[in-house]
Structure 1
Amino acid sequence: MTEAFNRAVDELDATVDGPEVWGWFGRTLSARVCTQRYERCWLRLMTAPAEKATGKTWDGNLKAAELFDLRVAKPGLYETVEHVEGGYGYRAELSQYIPEPVYSPSPVLSPDAAVPAAPWWESLRTDLGAVAKTATDRAAFRQEWADRSVPRFLGIPAPQISEWETAHGDMHPANLTANTPYLLDWEGFGRAPVGYDPAMLLAYSLLAPAFATRVRETFPVLNTEAGRNAQIIVITELMQSASRGDHPELVLPLRGLAAELA
């Protein structure tokens, strides 16, 4: 990864200008860089086995740039370079540098997290509304997965989704910046149940009741039948993730929310 990252720095005629930032399970490597053309930027290198270096996740940020750059608060994508070596594919994405910290260093919000002011929520609601209305053929969710997984993890029949919209697909506090907010990491965007993004933000904030209350107030869709279905889907996704060792601290509050919805 380090060699591939340095190669991308050279190809993009950039200079590293900040510390390395490693992503989930070492799948990405990023750093602030400087270029003559764009000045300060963010360079993110992603990798996957060569046979999997294609498809939804691989192309997510590139497709999102085509649809959403200059329309919502997200980092603009400037250039990409990619290559295959040693059985792995690598893609480097040179993007706009956002001089704001993320709202949370972890997707799971800590109990003492501060609640942002009203303009933060208004901006988020506006941007997610614009995303929801954007047409795409990408899928962030499949009914077949729900039919298998909801009974397995929640012990109830899967809701049959009839209302759809486009979602960011990974809407948690670590993918939002603290001030604006900018929406980061668009790899998984696509069609999903109505209310999916608010449901995911709510699920990741269950340990921070004041923040969770504000999520519910900002997104009244969560109080509708469509919003209930979206929450069941998100809870199932996070329970499946927890079964693999991710964020076990969410299991009990997720079960509590599932019981309320049932």
Structure 2
Amino acid sequence: MYSEPDPDTARRMRGMHAAAAASLAAKPIGSSEAWGWRGRTLSCPVATASGESWLRLVSAPADKAGGKLWEGPQEAERLMPPEVPRPHLRERRAWTEDGHGYLAELYDKVTVSTVMTHEPILREAPDLDDAWWGALSTALETIAAVPSDRVAVRQEYLDRAMPLYLGIPIDTTVPAWTTAHGDLHWANLTSPSLTVLDWEGWGVAPAGYDAALLYAYSLLVPDTAAEVRRRLAHIFDNPAGRFAELVVITELLQTITRGDNLDLEGALRKRLSAITG
């Protein structure tokens, strides 16, 4: 999904991925790799006794390993209904070595490609049919209704961050809360059939958060951005949906201050002006 990280990180992650494969009796297939943000994850197809699978390795400093992100995929496996298409988690292993915590997760292999390969931002219009959009709408409605005590977005964060990054006085009270995937972008969605990937950060968020995030990552392709709004109009066309957009704009403007998503800044600020006048 992202570019290969610095050589030291890449070398460490490849070594630990090989160790994880050996512990799970899995053999890498070919040379394809899928990197996460700044080398935090490394995933590859593998062969196991039960067939082809997908082995994902997560890394974090040892003192930050564990918690919500560590447990997200396992909790999704336990709680998400079958109406939400996702790869099933088969096995997992966790360990600490040389100051890093590692989590290896063995998933069913997904045989279709993600809409975007190397980043969340949409760069060209995808060819998505009515069935795909219908499946996405159903998935979002189903996710939103799943009871959870997991938290994807905190009110305390919004109280601090929204006035700071939006640059305007604003009532930060969330109109409604629902459960969200929490990282719904084009590198976590497959086509031509829909699968929703990466369940680390799911939890309670402002209603409409997932749709707003997907829309924001579509802004560089106006036709697709308009299609997102049209297909998910029931989510956007209300006060909660507009508030969710402001939440997402806040988060993405914050990432821009850290050097990420720089291409989106102009489009995000234009959208902010359209919402707030």
**What TM bracket, shorter-length normalisation?**
over 0.9
**Equivalent residue, structure 1, for 2:248:** 234
* Offset of residue 115 of structure 1: 4.2
Task: Select 1:173's aligned residue among 183, 186, 189.
Answer: 186
Counterpart of 2:18 in structure 1 is 6
- Measured in 1, the distance between the counterparts of 2:56 and 2:49 equals 18
Aligned-residue offset at 1:69: 6.1
Match of 2:36 among 13, 23, 28: 23
1:126 match: secondary structure = helix
Q: Percent identity?
A: 43
1:257 equivalent in structure 2: 271
Aligned residue for 2:237? 223
Q: How many residues align?
A: 260
Q: Which residue of 1 aligns with 2:8?
A: none
Structure 2 residue identity aligned to 1:260? A
Equivalent of 1:208 in 204, 221, 245: 221
2:167 pairs with one of 139, 155, 179: 155
1:194 corresponding residue in structure 2: 207
TM-score (norm 1): 0.96
Deviation at 1:104, TM superposition (A): 1.1
Question: Does structure 1 retain, via aligned residues, the 8 Å contact 2:208–2:244?
Answer: yes
Shift, 1:54, TM fit? 1.1
What per-residue deviation string (whole Å, max 9, x for no partner) do you get for residues 147-185 of structure 1? 111111112224310311000000111110011110001
8 Å contact kept, 1:164–1:193: yes
Map 1:68-147; keep pairs closer than 5 Å.
68=80, 70-105=82-117, 106-110=119-123, 112-147=124-159
Which residue pairs with 2:4 in the alignment? none
Shift of the alpha carbon at 1:3?
2.1
- Cα distance in structure 2, aligned partners of 1:247 and 1:162: 27
Structure 2 unaligned runs (5+)?
1-12
Question: Alpha carbons of 1:69 and 1:87: their partners in 2 closer, same or farther (altered >3 Å)?
Answer: farther
CA deviations over 1:86-106 (Å, ceiling 9, x no partner) = 111111000010111101122
- Contact 2:121–2:218 under 8 Å retained in 1: yes
Q: Is the 8 A contact 2:165 2:250 kept in 1?
A: yes
Asked if 2 retains the 8 angstrom alpha-carbon contact of 1:115 and 1:210, the reply is: no
Aligned 8 A contact 1:60 1:186 in 2: yes
1:60 matched to 2:100: no
SS of the aligned residue for 1:81 comes to strand
Whichever residue aligns with residue 26 of structure 2, its letter is A
Corresponding residue SS for 2:244: helix
Further displaced range: 51-60 or 238-247: 51-60
Q: Which amino acid aligns with 1:131?
A: I
CA contact (8 A) 2:220 2:267 kept: yes
Asked whether the 8 Å contact 2:85–2:194 carries over to 1, the reply is yes
> How far does the alpha carbon of each residue in 1:41-82 deviate from its partner, in whole angstroms, 9 at most, with x for none?
000000111111111112111111111263410000000011
Distance 1:115 1:227 in 2: 25
TM-score normalized with structure 2 length: 0.91
- Partner of 2:44, secondary structure, is strand
Secondary structure of residue in 1 paired with 2:42:
strand
Query: What amino acid does structure 2 have at the position aligned with 1:229?
Result: F
1: CA distance between counterparts of 2:192 and 2:127? 12
Contact 1:69/1:75 (8 A) holds in 2:
no
Report the residue type matching 1:5 in the other structure: H
Q: Distance in 2 between matches of 1:3 and 1:195?
A: 40
In the alignment, structure 1 segments of 5+ residues that lack a partner are none
